[in-house]
A and B are shown apart, each in its own frame.
Chain A
Amino acid sequence: MDKPLVYISNLNLQYAGLPVLCDLNWNIYAGEHWVIGGKSGSGKSSLAKAIVGQEKFTGEIICNYDNPSKLMPIAYYVSNWYQFANLEGDRNFYYQQRYNKHQQNDTLTVYADLLHFGEKNNLNFQDAEPILDALGFNNCRETQLIELSSGEHKKLQLIQALWFKPQILILDEPYTGLDKIARVNLNILLDRLAELGTTLILISNDFTVPSSINRFGEIEDGKINTVDNINAFSLDETRQSKPFPYFLQKDPPGEAQTIVELRDVSVKYGDKVVLKDINWKVARGEKWLLQGHNGSGKSTLLSLLNADHPQAYASDIWLFGQKRGSGESIWDIKEKIGIISPELHWYFDKNATVWHTVASGYYDSIGWFLKVKYEEQRQIEQLLDFFDLLEVKDKLLHTLPLGKQRLALLARTIIKNPQLLILDEPCQGLDRTQAAHFNAVVDELSRYGKTLIYVGHYESHLPSCIDHRLELEKGEVMKTQNILEKA
């Protein structure tokens, strides 16, 4: 047999002092394309980082690159978590920064960033054009990095990787935040790259993978096992059902019958129209699904509702029966809303413990600053228990696997029993079992007088309580639909 492209022998790796990979052996041969799946926290990302030299390990990893190949003799890793920096290397951005307009540019434009990447790696910009096209990124060229949504950031990472054409490409949760079309096109692009000779390694529990994928592996007890197909991946155990915390089994206060009303609302940055003539009314108790492609304006729309967008003051927006800009503070509004979004997670305080993260939900703060009353402390403990997070309550949020981090942020979202839940892709980073569990929680929570606005790309990952749907396309309302009436 030929020499393996990647030879891994007796790999040992620790994370936070605990063993993650133990004497792992793995050979990857040319022509193989792998998907690595399995439970969260099993060491998938650690393995990927070890291969590209981003994580310390003991043992041996040898990559035998094909020298005559035109592809770059490099193992290229696209991480599941990415923080862009500005020109000075500054990464200290805040959640709402992309809505506040300053004349001084904070970050590069997409185009400048790509040029910079191309120059650094001696790439021809013409080769990037078809990739930009295929992932629907052409209209983002002049957009500043800070203005991109999480799905768009993911695309930018992928565009760079595809353009780079490495011999080994490792993609960690590449579908996170991508809309349906982008997922399909990504797989086509990956197949093309595989034909050119790139070896693909995907970390994912998704069903839709490139057709070139021909090997399936999962990590168990620190070692890698091959399995037959995607369906054979072990998932996190279905959790034992626990009684829903009593303090959440009641309707939140509030009298307004119309929770949200937008009248001809538009948002423009210079000539760029982000939202156009939006009319939308959400009545108390309705459960809305908000859909649209990456960049269709969903995040901007939600930022208007959560009082994060300065242009709300120039628009005809009514929240909880009060017009925006009539003397209320943004904290008066946020108090009634529980929100989670990939961006919120992104910018969340890296030094917060799990307990502090949940506690901050009482004050709508990013991180925790104020003392919590005894009764509230009890509620936090109950909710942590409900989400199986009690054991890790004193750990720093960012040291947990992404799926667990997400659960902690979900607990933060519902801790104050808000009138309106805004769940923007809440299941991102969760596997199928976790997502099903979470959506069951949403369904249960919805029974107690909540209004819901839910964003989800995956049809299979939706709570069943959804009764209305709004679809955005290029900043305009394409369709509103009462799903119940149709049924």
Chain B
Amino acid sequence: MANYFNTLPLRDQLTQLGQAEFMDNTEFADGINALKGKKIVIVGAGAQGLNQGLNLRDSGLDISYALRREAIEQKRDSWKNATDNNFTVGTYDELIPTADLVINLTPDKQHTAVVNAVMPLMKQGATLSYSHGFNVVEEGMQIRQDITVIMVAPKCPGSEVRAEYLRGFGVPTLIAVHPENDPEGKGWPYAKAYCVGTGGHRAGVLKSSFVAEVKSDLMGEQTILCGLLQTGSILSFDKMIEKGIDAGYASKLVQYGVEVITEALKHGGVSGMLDRLSNPAKIKAFQISEELKDIMRPLFQKHQDDIMSGEFSKTMMEDWANGDANLLKWRAETGETAFEKTPAGDVKINEQEYFDNYTLMVAFVRAGVELAFETMVEAGIKPESAYYESLHETPLIANTIARKKLFEMNRVISDTAEYGCYLFDQACKPLLADFMKKVDTDMVGKNFNEGKDATVDNIQLVQVNEILRNHPVEIVGTKLRKAMTAMKVIKTV
């Protein structure tokens, strides 16, 4: 199978990359009707599979689960998930031939095997749905010509998809139709109805393409979302230990700080996050993040280039073929860092203290979000897509760090994200070595404002605020966040 994106002429590459239209509510007026009474079979009953199925059924759709014979015979968790919630469960052979819509919600790595097993069983003119385009775009999976291929990708973990739906809301969602597989022109009505069934239409929907979704998703996850949060966390912890800050305090500050800080990012954007700092700290964080952007820009560009050329997915798939040798080695190394091994101390850190004593992370997050966004947009990805794949998802990943540190983050995220995260982390740490030498405890570990008076140069502050607020990620973010009214506050600590 050849990389699909690389087979396209440049004009088609650009068209598909640049596909991102924020959809109006009126586009969903038909509700779930396009899928009403249709037989929907979900393959896979993990976090996304189960929770999306629960939502779709609660929206009045006919849902059952097709699992591999071994999963059923051995009563694995996927089988229990589906049967405990009173779904019909059957083998591929039993259920796929009856399906009007097959929703593939298995892990990326299994897509080729799953689709090869499912496709021959699918009836003429049926529809196949993905929630990530890797298999189609990077692996170049060819789908039978009579089959319609769509994508519905909620931009949240499965548990959130369910929780938000039951609150009467939803999570932001990307939908797409594969241009090579829309023989009857029913792709968009199906994708929209499916999206309504999960509640996604209430939180903002982006009309995207398989290509735009894959190229932006990979970029976001390996740079700002996972890579930089990992690098920043480890460097911050090590710096505090080097400077004699209590290890338990340092561990707690790093584990929960990134969640508290990015919670401000989620609700108020980059400028909202920096507004939580005192004026002098804000100016300092601004200056440092400018420096960080200069240092890291080539690395962000390299990641984007490798994603566009297919180099990244090629290397990763070689590792898949090699039994995940590199991935498992790097995962083990992450489990061995001093941060990972130091339990969070039993100290109370109040919410504001996470900003005042962890200004360095604010600078890291601003630099990472803006760089990822800028690099994606320069590569032809639309600002809307770039926003979801950078700023929007950062707090979600931060929440996994707050739950169980970096090892857990890497366990929870997809294999592609984890693999890319390690690549980024390994390259980024040496890049920041000189920078980190200059960092002292006023930036991480102690209150930045301690022993300083609060004076700032007024003109300088005005300029900093203006630069922060007029960044394109803030402009598009303000628009998109309007659709996400009443975002839930996530709080672990």
Q: Which residues of A contact B (CB under 8 A)?
A: 88-92, 94-97, 100-104, 269, 307-308, 310-311, 313-314, 327-332, 349-352, 356, 360, 363-369
Chain A residues positioned under 8 Å from B168 (CB to CB): 331, 360, 363-367, 369
Shortest distance from the beta carbon of B235 to any chain A beta carbon, whole Å: 24
- Our pick among A97, A307, A364 for the contact of B163 (Cβ within 8 Å) is A97
Tell me which residues across on chain B come within 8 A of A95, comparing CB atoms.
Answer: 166-167
Indicate whether B403 reaches chain A with its CB closer than 8 angstroms. Answer: yes
Interface residue B36 (Cβ < 8 Å from any Cβ of A):
yes
> What are 7 A-B pairs with beta-carbon distances under 8 A?
A90-B403, A91-B492, A331-B168, A349-B167, A352-B486, A366-B166, A366-B167
CB neighbours of B77 from chain A (8 A): 103-104
Q: Chain B interface (Cβ within 8 Å of chain A)?
A: 32, 36-37, 50, 54, 57-60, 62, 77, 80-81, 84-86, 162-163, 166-169, 202, 402-404, 485-486, 488-493
Contact A310 B86 (CB under 8 A): yes
Residues of B near A92 (CB, < 8 A) are 163, 488, 490-492
Nearest residue, chain B, Cβ from A102: B81
Q: Which residues of A contact B57 (CB under 8 A)?
A: 310, 313
- Bound-state CA distance A44–B50 (Å) is 45
Expressed in whole angstroms, the Cα–Cα distance for A436 and B264 within the complex equals 43
Say whether A94 contacts B166, CB under 8 Å. yes
Evaluate whether A328 and B167 lie within 8 angstroms (CB atoms) in the complex, with A88-B404, A90-B492, A349-B486 already known: no
Report Cα–Cα, A366/B199, bound state, in Å.
14
Cβ–Cβ contact A101 & B84, under 8 A = yes
Among candidates A100, A332, A363, residue contacting B162 with C-beta atoms closer than 8 Å? A100
Using A100-B85, A101-B85 as known contacts, say yes or no to A369 and B60 having CB atoms under 8 A apart.
no
**Distance in Å: Cβ of A262 to nearest Cβ of chain B:** 16
Contacts of A308 in B (CB 8 A): 166
Q: B54, A365: Cβ atoms under 8 Å?
A: no
Write the nearest CB–CB distance from B253 to chain A, whole angstroms: 15
Residues of B within 8 A of A101 (CB): 80-81, 84-85
Q: How many A-B residue pairs have CB under 8 A?
A: 93
A86 to chain B, nearest CB (A): 9
| List of B residues within 8 angstroms of A97 by Cβ | 163
Docked CA distance A435–B198 (Å): 39
Chain A residues contacting B80 (CB-CB under 8 Å) are 101, 103
Closest to A366 in B: B167
Known: A92-B492, A327-B36. 9 other contacts (CB 8 A): A88-B402, A100-B162, A101-B80, A311-B86, A329-B32, A349-B488, A365-B168, A369-B202, A369-B485
B414 → A minimal CB distance (Å): 17
What are the residues of chain A within 8 A of B493 when measuring CB–CB?
89
What is the bound-complex CA distance between A329 and B58, given in angstroms? 5
Residues of B close to A328: CB separation below 8 A: 60
Please measure, in the bound complex, the distance between the C-alpha atom of A311 and the C-alpha atom of B58, giving whole angstroms: 11
Q: Which residues of B contact A90 (CB under 8 A)?
A: 403, 492
Contacts of B402 in A (CB 8 A): 88-89
A91 touches B491 (CB 8 A): yes
Min CB–CB distance A238 → chain B (angstroms): 36
Partner of B403, one of A88, A100, A329, A369: A88
Chain A residues with Cβ below 8 Å from B404 are 88
Compute how far the CA of A352 lies from the CA of B167 in the bound complex, rounded to whole angstroms: 13
Q: Which B residues are in CB contact (< 8 Å) with A100?
A: 54, 85, 162
Closest to B60 in A: A329
B486 touches A367 (CB 8 A): yes
Task: Tell me the complex Cα distance, A454–B485, Å.
Answer: 33
